Amino acid sequence: MKKLILLTISLLSITFLPITLAHDLKGAIASDDRTPKNMDRDVYRHPYETLEFFGIKTDMTVIELSPGGGWYTEILANYIHYPGTLIAAHFNPEAGGYYKRGREYFEKKMDSDPMYGRVEIVNIDSSLAEANSVDAVLTFRNLHNWLGPQLDTIFTNSYKALKPGGIFGVVEHRANPGTSLELMKKSGYVTVDHALKMAKKHGFEYVSSSEVNSNPKDIKDYPKGVWTLPPNLRMKEVDKAKYIEIGESDRMTLLFRKPL
């Protein structure tokens, strides 16, 4: 009987080992639950250093703005556990077309694995969460898609959702200083000054920046804008080797907070 009890305990330990490891950020990033092709991009996106810089902890309530196909969601869902919650603010499916398809793909991914059990999905154009209820709001490579009134709406709702002292972390393709708003929209690169200005406009305090996602090889002048580079490679086979050698874009990594 004693041997049976010990065997049962051992089997339970093995069964729950991945869950235990998932509470560690390095373990979540190295987890087999992630998509291999997504893991290949860690060399460009530096998820450990980025999330450490933002101060994300396993018990936080975190909003990921516009998670796309779920590249960061795979890591965050594996890392954030009770009492923490991950809120994915995705496309409103009522917008139809590309937005509806993107939302359906993401929901299918969330239904594919119990790992996503603590992920809540809301519309990006909603209030996101109850006021003063969220520890952190994160956005990765999205500002260029929101330039204009949409950015104001998302920043306003993010600020309202955050607790006083809450974190607002931004990673974005970095434009050269002085780039016009028109060119930002066309190229997909946003200036640091514009990001700082918009955050300040909506009440956020600037905390610090990191160069962890910088890429000095990125000249920021391509036929198809930032989408010329990996992973999009919109020029297809034209100069493909050159763009792969450059790698993914040069990115700013900015940390803000809601004042206490």
CA–CA separation, 117 and 54 (whole Å) = 23
Specify the pLDDT at position 7: 39
The pLDDT, as a whole number, for residue 19 is: 42
Pairwise CA distance, residues 205 & 259, whole Å: 6
Q: At what angle do helices 97-110 and 71-79 cross, to 10 degrees?
A: 30
165/144 Cα distance (integer angstroms) = 26
Beta partners for residue 88, in sequence order: 64, 121
Contact 165, 258 (CB under 8 A): yes
pLDDT for position 5: 42
Give residue 23's pLDDT: 63
226 touches 190 (CB < 8 A) = no
Q: What are the pLDDT tens digits along the chain (260 aa)?
A: 444 443 343 444 444 444 444 469 999 999 999 999 999 999 999 999 999 999 999 999 999 999 999 999 999 999 999 999 999 999 999 999 999 999 999 999 999 999 999 999 999 999 999 999 999 999 999 999 999 999 999 999 999 999 999 999 999 999 999 999 999 999 999 999 999 999 999 999 999 999 999 999 999 999 999 999 999 999 999 999 999 999 999 999 999 999 99
Q: Name the pairing type of β-strands 61-65 and 162-173.
A: unpaired
DSSP β-ladder status, 61-65 and 85-90: parallel
Contacts of 120 (CB under 8 A, 6+ apart): 85, 86, 87, 88
pLDDT at position 87: 98
**Domain range annotation of the chain:** 22-257
* The CATH number of the domain covering residues in 22-257: 3.40.50.150
- pTM of the predicted protein model: 0.91
Beta-ladder partners of 169: 138, 255
Helices (DSSP H) in the chain: which residue ranges?
A: 2-22, 25-30, 36-39, 42-45, 47-54, 71-79, 97-110, 143-146, 149-161, 181-187, 192-201, 240-246
